Structure 1
């Protein structure tokens, strides 16, 4: 069981880990040991997460979210399989914690009188510059 907060804990059946061969440094060890971790979390079917958290998690995870509603996190940072597993689980916990906070609603405000005046003045100056670009006539 993976504890995210005091209220939210992810059960073991919701997580699937598969180990694959990693690329990068490691010498002959790379060709022999499957040290990279692919952590799959069945977020859509998870009873641990409320519906609004699931929608925010889907938006935050981006392309890591699959069509069948699973969140896939890959990690091949270190040469140690156990360390990569811990890093992947920490990334999942951090992503879920970020999706727990509701975003602030934007309060619509009016532009100030000064900003309206400056904008109109800038438009007038720009219009005068463009008006001077016309063809030159002899007087």
Structure 2
């Protein structure tokens, strides 16, 4: 089956049908509009990225400052713990020394008052078979 050339309808002279030049201009305008829109989106995206980079830089800077502050606080805490331990140790030694001194004074008082210092003030009760 061959189609005769006269059977193909020529639509180039119809009203409302664009010519090749009009079609090319239409697609050119569509492409230009799309490029302009993409350019605006690209500009906005670049601004967003710049903002994110700036936020990251600020956060990194703040993180560094907080790390330094944390390290200083840890050092201060360690010093405070060391001083507290020294004070506690000194206090315990002083309490032990005071307790020993008090015991020695009690012993001296008992000796001077005529008591037998090493004798128990409480009589020892023994179990007897009678009870």
The answer to whether TM tops 0.5 is: no
Q: What is the TM-score when the length of structure 2 is the normalising length? A: 0.22
| Structure index of larger Rg | 2
TM-score (norm 1): 0.21
Higher strand share: 1
The structure in which a higher percent of residues are helix is 2
